[in-house]
Structure 1
Amino acid sequence: MVLGVRRMARFAAATALASSLAYILVAAGTASAQTPPAKQDRMVVDARELVYDNDKKTVAAVGDVQILYQGRTIEADRVVYDQAGKRVVATGNARITEANGTVITGDRFNLTDDFRDGFIDSLRVVNPDKTRFSAPRAERTDGETFVFEKGIYTACEPCKDNPERPPLWQVRSARIIHKKAEQTIYYEDARIEFLGVPMAYIPYMSGPDSTVKRKSGFLAPKFLNTGPLGYGVGLPYFLNLAPNYDVTVTPTYLTRQGLLGQAEWRHRLVNGSYSIRGSGIFQQEPEAFLASPLGPRDKDFRGSIETNGRFFINPRWTFGWSAAMSTDRWFYKNYRIRNESISSTTYLQESISTAYLNGQSSTAWFDMRGYYFQPLTSSDWQKQQPVVLPVLDYNKRLHKPSFLGGELSFNVNITNLSRDAAAFSELPKQQTYLITTPSYSLYDGCAVYQKSTCLVRGLAGNVARATAEVSWRRNFIDPLGQVWTPYASLRADIFSINPNTTKYFNANVATIADTSDEVFGRAMPAIGLMYRYPFVAKTSWGTHIIEPVAQIVARPNETNSLRIANEDAQSLVFDANNLFEWSSKFSGYDRVEGGSRANVGALYTGRFGKDAFANLLLGQSYQLGGRNSFSAGDLVNTGLNSGLDTDTSDIVARAQISPAKGFFLTGATRLNQTTYEMQRIDAAATYSNSVISTSVGYGRYEPQPELGIVRRREGLSLNGSVLVAQNWRLRAGVLFDLDKYKLDRENFRTAYASFLTNGGVAPAYPNTGPFQTASTSFGINYTDECTVFDVSYSQSYADRQSGATKDSRTVMFRLELRTLGEISYSQNLDSSSVGDGVSSSSTR
């Protein structure tokens, strides 16, 4: 007997008919036939038609069926419940949406009455993180285990235009088993396919499912290959000990040096986190490296330890650290050890360890920290590196104090440092300064200190300074729109210098500092006034603001400039950015600007249309009275050759122009005040949109012989990337050392003259040309929602400070498959080159 009921409107389980269906559907799995379903098991049913078959004991919901039950939503063209078999069969566009957002679709669902177990034909599963499974047939058991027969897994989205086309990559497996209770997916007889083409076969593998953030197991392997190390492979194992701490152990086998062990501990606490990393190896072939002091050949065991941490004491105060130590300066480079504390440039590489305490509020800032420096190049000497402990900075600003108005600020700095050996270098001469001849002298050619020919980079012994400054300034705007800003400050410094005059080979070091007067002080009051008068004009093509600016600051003469150990103010670049600096144009606290000075300039700002703008500044500085601090060099000659060492300074200018959206032009220069020759040039042009990104940079800096820089430095950089196809981007960059051409010519002339004088044969003229590349790089990158693929090539100057004699050329490869892991590899194409303490006979 068949009973048909036609309903064209939606109805809920609260109605009698839907309640009957709900009761029938859940009775077998939740209660006896006479027991009504529990309140939490009620379901909402929506269908066009219900069909009862009393003979077969079935009830069917037909037409746009939608059932809401226990957080799940079941949709299909037809859902039939077999009361005798306690099965639910859904056919026609069948679809289940789980409570967590997982969507399961198939041609036919055959499930138990509680929807926990069953079979699904032509299964497709889309998880909330957009990962996907598919299989011709799948079975779910125990409500938590899915078995996909001939299953396919991918994290790539299907092609919108052609959904049947294979995704970029997928894992095709004889069986895929997803155990939700274990949060693990197992793959049996798996192969990884790219665009449907098999590329790798893996008999068995497993990995966490999309709900897992942390799970013990093997991570992606790491590969390396260098001459002194041989071929190496590392297999990291991640051990999830608890939700807030874990350990990663990475044994790496190297064919020449043996087993490199690495371990990392990470621990997250309520108010912060920290990590500790350690590496070590007992080398099998130490002879692959240079002998001391140019290499680590004398060391059988080499290793390092690094640690980082940061903790929040409360919302305003934090403390933390970043520290790294190694058995030798070459270890990080030789074994490709990650070290976040390394600060690196072409000719300066060091590991910086620091610990700090920091506090901030809306008006105040406090920072106290210490530093330890470990040099990582052959030419540096640990005894010349300072230990800085502590450095304390405090700044407090009061806005509109009741008795003055304006802004009142307080600054405090305390610095204490010590080193074992003095660091000083000889002022080089043009004809002998050849970068092609590396030097490993501890004193860089200044083996005996001479005050007239040597620059003191740092004193041996202990140096301490305490600085306190209070300053005030306030803006007044008169009825004409003129802006007047008076300024006043008072600064006091106390120095304590206790030089070491007895150690490390140099008796004349005692002449660097006067040991009879170890403690001295200075005070520097200042008053000043700044005047600005903006003129605004509006035209049909833009808005223009022209603003003349004049500033005058009166101070007494600077004292004790030749007695201090200038540790933090050795860098001085005079440009438009510090033209109107109130306190001092020196970069640190050890030096302070003295005498009376006027700074004048004109500022232009223009806006044109919606996106275009221009900003220009032109100015100059004048020494009005007193002694010019920038003409009195200290132990390192800071201030000389700066453009401020004459009564009338060089002219500085700055420009920022954007003629269109995404297009920026920037430039800055310093011009000689009499000849108008450019002493410094910094210029850049950038353009970027969704397809192309490009930049051009140019820098040129004239010689500063009194600072030890005897030749002009000039360089040109070109960088760009272009989207060549969807998701594909090409990039390239080159840095030209334009000055190397001039240096090669000078070296050739010197060598040529020497050969002719000695009756020798003239050498061949070097074929260099004006565009010598300091570095080049190019690469290709593919990025979409599931894949990152990157291949790059880079070449850079030989790092002669670390012993390298040839340029380095490196190829890098990286492949990241979302949810599966990442594989990366780099190869130095010049493995036979000498560098980083490596012996020239280290390769085979």
Structure 2
Amino acid sequence: MRPALRLLPLPLCIAFSLGATAQAQEWDWDREPPEDWRLCPLEDAVPVFPDAPQPVGTSADRQQQPTDIDGDSVSGVRDEVINFDGNVTLRRGDQFLATDNLDYNEETGHYVADGSVRYQDSGMRIVAERLRGNPDQDMHEIENVQYQLIERRGNGRADRAEMVGDLGSMYGSTYSTCPPEDRHWELRARQIDVDTESGWGTARGASLRLGRFPLLYMPYFRFPVDDRRKTGLLYPGIDYSGRNGFDYRQPIYLNLAPNYDMTLEPRIMTDRGFMLGTEARYLSRRGGAELYFEYLPSDDITARERQEEIDLGIPEENRREEDRGMFQFSGSHRFNRTWQARGNLNWISDPRYLEDMSSSLTAGSPISIVSTAGLYGRGRYWEAGLMADYNQLADYTLSERNLPYNRLPRLFGSWEQPFRPWLVAGLDVDLTRFAATDDQRYGGSRFDAKPYVSFPLEGAAWFVRPTLAWRSTAYQLDERLAQSLALEGAEPDRSPTRNQPIASVDAGLFFDRDTVFRGDRYLHTLEPRLFYLNSPYRNQDNLPLFDTRALTFSWGQLFRDNRFSGGDRQADANQMTVALTTRLIRESDGLEKLSASIGQIRYFDDSRVGLNPKAPPVESGESSWVAEAAYAINDRWTLNAGYQWDPKIRRDDLISVRSRYLIGDDGIANLGYRYRRELLEQVDFSFLYPLSPAWSLVGRYYYSLKDSSLLESIAGVQWDSCCVTVRLVGRRYVRNRIGEMNDAIQLEVELKGLGSLGANTEDRLRRAILGYYRDDLYLVPPSDLRGDPVQIDPIQ
């Protein structure tokens, strides 16, 4: 029958339009945890229709599907009015329409469906009082509508809806993701006009209500009604801190083209001034880029705290600028399957910028920000690159002399290939020009090559891997640097070299047995390991220190062929590492119940190479004992510990203890203690404690015992319901390296399925409380800095 073909699409076009306001958000570039609907009862505004058949196909297949019409009786005159009475149903593909009676005038094209109108497809269900219109004129009207979305949360109602072609209007409409009898929040609108061809809707007299109270009123606004990105306002950010005062941000999204866009973010800080941030993003088949720039003219804090900077003796070049800003660019381009270019460029107006603008939960700002750009390639047995980097000071308590050398440029490559099961050859090569950011240090160029050959011999329960390597390093130094490095009475050498052989043997055994522990069956392993290293002494006192530091002694250091990073020092060695690891692995599910390792290096000779001529050697004898252990006390409680003990002075070098306890289905408590002799002693406690399914407490206490000072404290409360989450968090944290503190109080109201109002406290808590989401238990907390690599789906 002809009217059914034009009638069925009507409800979806109109009723879904208000729910689509929730689509007016930014691109989701980072994967976020899914919204939690566990507190929502299984209550639909429109119950399931028991007589509706299973849908066939999708909405895209409707035009090709036939329409079937059934009813208790059919009457009327052909070419005039046809009446379907009693249990009238129309079916087409995924669509189903039922009503008590349907009248269709074939002469005028008018139809009327009266009594218990019900509609369902793969996306939603609708009940209405009356449906009428004219398919020839593409005009339809539906009265007293209730709808329930199926593909995602959402329901609501409307007094009346009209549609003429691609234009539709809805009057007295509502939308919410809450159950119909428990409306914690609801969108209401006096009138909504929808243009399905352009994908835009216009709301008049719209309001957002929290419970019974109106929270926001908008006399007029536009919003998208489909998945197409649209220019418009994004959700604002509201914050308050002792440094910025009242802080309001209003992002404005500009959809410029299918593969690039821009977001403007005007920001008002009552104690600082007006700031404008701009983010632009670009995507192509071979890569993408993201650019961010923010500008704060005449920052009030500059004048307000200028005298304090002078009193503290801060050098003029490290003080705040009047006009302040930041620039960041991150992008990549893939040329083919082997080669790609990547860049990450950063700039700040002054060294105090990150400290003043960040609300980070990390203690202090980084020493520097680094800009990098390069060309990188990778094959089956090799990888190579040509890159450059530049450091800019970001800590006003330091000078540019503390910055690492810039690499302008660096050419590097690695190759490793097996020729036989027992023969592997490789080569690591690096050619770098080093230049300092400041003009008080001098640089040079370095060529570093390390060819090696390995003879791996392995069995099911053992391995032996002898390796022979030759490290050859040559420099071309600036004249003044060569003069400063010259030994007393010697001529400056602008082209010093180092050639040093390195030999090592790594060997281990694997023993295992079946055992029973507390009623469970386990695989118990015992894994002894020996690592012998020999490299003769070469005097390297006349070599510069461009990128080389002493590595922190740890478990991994027991099996390295060098105790220095970078290429400026190669340690001499005649030493043996003895180590032992044992594990308990539960056979039922593979859980590692226990893992414990202990090891030590035995130095047969003094290791004389140091970072400078006056550095004391590593004396022959025993190194510190290194021990690590992890124990799953039960399925909720785990304990990790690390310990280093120096037998020469009979003192602890390092103590690290971390404990995690899972509380119920959502809660977690973390307790950590870290001690490193003469450097730090800290305790860190964080938790999420559920008081009930709806209420929970969050907190963190991070304290330096060595300095008797607080590093960070967080206290907050969360309330969660079916469709609303409220977080109120107070924070006090160190904002720079000299220990100055900042206070902030943040409130966030998350309307599930719509968006959030206020500060983004959720991300802050994820960074502070490892395991804030259970899926994050084994992940590194998300970055607190912009400029991460662009991650967007490629254009098809």
1:654 corresponds to: 628
- Who is 2:671 aligned against? 696
Q: 1:364 to 1:220 in 2, by over 3 A?
A: same
> In structure 2, how many angstroms separate the alpha carbons of the residues matched to 1:327 and 1:178?
46
Once the two structures are TM-superposed, the CA of residue 413 in structure 1 deviates from its matched residue by 2.4
| 1:165 and 2:182 are equivalent in the alignment | yes
User: 2:363 touches 2:735 (CA, 8 Å); kept in 1?
Assistant: no
Q: Which amino acid aligns with 1:360?
A: R
- Say which of 721, 736, 742 aligns to 2:703: 736
Unaligned runs of 5+ in 1: 1-21, 30-38, 423-458, 704-711, 742-771, 828-844
Please name the residue that 2:161 is paired with.
Answer: 139
Q: Look up the match of 2:172.
A: 150
CA distance in 2, matches of 1:515, 1:540: 71
- Letter paired with 2:265: T
- Partner amino acid, structure 1, of 2:81: K
| Deviation of 1:215 (Å) | 0.9
Q: Which amino acid aligns with 2:506?
A: M
Match of 1:678 in 2: 652
Distance 1:218-1:345 versus aligned 2 partners, 3 A rule: same
- Residue 810 of structure 1 is matched in structure 2 by 744
SS in 1 for 2:443: strand
The structure-2 alpha-carbon separation of the partners of 1:115 and 1:799, relative to structure 1 and needing over 3 Å to count, comes to: same
* Structure 2 partner of 1:566: 545
* Residue identity opposite 2:333 in structure 1: F
- The alpha-carbon deviation at position 251 of structure 1 amounts to 3.6
Q: 1:194 maps to which residue?
A: 210
Per the TM alignment, residue 181 of structure 1 is displaced from its structure 2 partner at its CA by 2.7
Write out aligned runs for 1:194-593 (5 A). 194-209=210-225, 211-223=226-238, 233-253=248-268, 259-283=274-298, 286-290=302-306, 293=314, 299-335=321-357, 345-346=363-364, 348-382=366-400, 385=403, 386-399=405-418, 401-402=419-420, 405-419=422-436, 421=438, 460-477=441-458, 481-498=461-478, 500=480, 516-541=492-517, 542-560=522-540, 562-581=541-560, 583-593=561-571
Within 1, Cα distance between the matches of 2:641 and 2:294? Answer: 46
Q: Distance in 1 between matches of 2:625 and 2:248?
A: 58
Distance 1:164 1:227, change over 3 A: closer
1:634 is aligned to 611
Amino acid in the other structure paired with 2:352 = W
Label 1:259 to 1:798 Cα distance change in 2 as closer, same or farther (>3 A): closer
Over 3 Å counting, the alpha-carbon distance change for 1:58 and 1:420 in structure 2 is closer
CA contact (8 A) 1:735 1:774 kept: yes
SS at match of 2:706: helix
TM-score by length of structure 1 reads 0.73
Aligned residue identity for 2:407: V
Give the partner amino acid of 1:57: V
How far did 1:419 drift? 1.5
Q: Higher RCO, 1 or 2 (CA under 8 Å, sep at least 6)? A: 2
Q: How far off is 1:633 after superposition?
A: 2.9
Report which of the two structures shows the higher radius of gyration computed on alpha carbons.
1
Residue 693 of structure 2 aligns with which residue?
A: 726
Measure how far apart 1:192 and its partner are: 1.4
How far apart are residue 599 of structure 1 and its match? 0.9
Q: For residues 78 and 463 of structure 1, do their structure 2 counterparts lie closer, same or farther at Cα, with a shift above 3 Å needed?
A: farther
Q: Normalized against structure 2, the TM-score is what?
A: 0.77
CA distance in 2, matches of 1:799, 1:289: 15
Q: Distance in 1 between matches of 2:7 and 2:349?
A: 71
Find the aligned partners of 2:499 and 2:319 in 1 and give their Cα distance.
53
1:795 deviates by 1.4
Q: Cα–Cα, structure 1 residues 662 and 298, in superposed 2: closer, same or farther, change >3 Å?
A: closer
For residue 223 of structure 1, report the CA deviation from its aligned partner: 4.7
2:97 corresponds to 1:74: yes
Aligned mate of 2:714, from 762, 777, 787:
777
Deviates more, 1:314-323 or 1:83-92: 83-92
Q: Secondary structure at the match of 2:671?
A: strand
The alpha carbon displacement at 1:83 in A equals 3.1
Kindly provide the CA deviation profile for residues 510-541 of structure 1, in whole angstroms up to 9, marking residues without a partner as x: 98998711211112222232332322222233
**In structure 2, C-alpha distance between the alignment counterparts of 1:92 and 1:636, rounded to whole Å:** 96
Aligned partner (choices 73, 90, 104) of residue 113 of structure 2: 90
Paired residue type of 1:716: V
The 1:691/1:218 distance shift into structure 2, 3 A limit, reads closer
- Distance in 2 between the 1:25 and 1:226 partners? 60
Mapped partners of 1:77, 1:26: distance in 2? 19
Q: CA, structure 1 residues 498+649, in 2 after alignment: closer, same or farther (shift >3 Å)?
A: same
- Using a 3 Å threshold, how does the CA distance of structure 1 residues 413 and 660 change in structure 2: closer, same or farther? farther
Residue 391 (structure 1) shift: 3.2
Structure 2: distance between partners of 1:183 and 1:639: 73
Q: Would you say the 8 A contact 1:47–1:62 is kept in 2? A: no
The total of aligned residue pairs comes to 692
Distance 1:383 1:192, change over 3 A: same
Q: What amino acid does structure 2 have at the position aligned with 1:147? A: S
1:337 Cα deviation after fit: 10
**Aligned counterparts of 1:143 and 1:301: Cα–Cα separation in 2:** 54
The residue type equivalent to 1:318 in the other structure is Q
RMSD of Structure 2 on Structure 1 (CA)? 3.8
Stretch of structure 1 that moved more, 197-206 or 318-327: 197-206
Task: Read off the aligned partner of 1:90 and give its amino acid letter.
Answer: A
Partner Cα distance (1:791, 1:514) in 2? 68
User: Distance between the aligned counterparts of 2:100 and 2:7, measured in 1?
Assistant: 24
**Contact 2:144–2:157 (CA under 8 A) maintained in structure 1:** yes
Find the aligned partners of 2:233 and 2:532 in 1 and give their Cα distance: 67
Post-superposition Cα deviations, 1:629-650, rounded to whole Å, max 9, x if no partner, equal: 4xx432398887xxx5543211
Matched residue, 2:199: 183
Structure 1 residues 279 and 670, CA, compared in 2 at 3 Å: closer, same or farther? same
How far off its partner does 1:344 sit?
7.1
- Amino acid paired to 1:604: T
**Equivalent position of 2:19 in the other structure:** none
For 1:321, give the aligned amino acid: G
The percent identity for this pair of structures is 17
Distance 2:612 2:194 in 1: 71
The CA deviation at 1:259 is 4.2
2:773 corresponds to: none
Residues 1:410 and 1:672: Cα distance change in structure 2 (over 3 Å): same
Contact 1:130 1:157 in 2 (8 A): no
CA distance in 1, matches of 2:694, 2:201: 29
Secondary structure of 2:559's aligned partner? coil
Superimposed CA distance per residue, residues 740-793 of structure 1 (whole angstroms, 9 cap, x where no aligned partner) = 24xxxxxxxxxxxxxxxxxxxxxxxxxxxxxx5322112334567865543322
Change in 2 beyond 3 A, CA 1:649/1:258: closer
Inter-partner Cα distance in structure 1 for 2:344 and 2:320: 29
1:680 to partner: Cα distance: 0.8
| Residue 669 in structure 1 maps to residue 643 in structure 2 | yes
Gap runs ≥5 in structure 2: 9-61, 762-796
Match of residue 796 from structure 1 = 733
Structure-2 change in CA distance of 1:537 and 1:383 (3 Å): closer
Residue aligning to 1:53: 76
Question: 1:124 corresponds to which residue?
Answer: 146
SS at match of 2:707: helix
Q: Which amino acid aligns with 1:721?
A: L
**SS of structure 2 residue aligned to 1:579:** helix
